[in-house]
Structure 1
Amino acid sequence: MSFELIASKRVDLGTGASRRLRHAGQVPAVVYGAGKEAASLVLDHNTMYYALKNEAFHTSVLDLVIDGQKEQVKVAAFQMHPYKQQVMHIDFARV
């Protein structure tokens, strides 16, 4: 099973910017590794929420499309809200 995620780069950084993204139905994310600079991203919340429910998503190599450029990544870590069904943040590691 292959997964393809659509993301865009994030310009506004920080706690307030991340909070505004979550209220707008988006998830802040970071992709790092492979000797490249870390990049801050934005993903759609519902897509990520339902993908994280799939067990294969956590162990697969994913195709992450960042502003038209495809990179292969794995899920490194993610954070969920303590009692809401909300993804707070997700980290990806380049393969």
Structure 2
Amino acid sequence: MNDLIIARSAAAPALIRQAPEHAKFRFLEFFTAQIRDPNTRRAYAKAAVKLLSWCEQQEVHSLDAITPIHVAGWVEELTQSHAAPTAKQRLALSGICSTGW
């Protein structure tokens, strides 16, 4: 569970570090309470960090500003550079993101 401290660490994307405490809590809660398998948890956390980092590059300045259009753009770019299983895993994450952290 130590890898989940990323929500509060310097390694976290700025969108998480700068988020209100309740959003940081929801982010952390999702990965701890909803995903029991440590390998799945790690893979989804890695994908979430990559998505949020990509959003920062697109000049998204808050978690609230992330829209399904951003997620679709990220997945589209991903499918051009990654194998189908990787893209499918990230697409599963995008469905989670749309429900909000």
Same fold (TM over 0.5): no
TM-score (norm 1): 0.25
* Higher strand residue share: 1
Question: 1 or 2 for the larger relative contact order (CA 8 Å, sep ≥6)?
Answer: 1
* Higher helix residue share: 2
TM-score (norm 2): 0.24
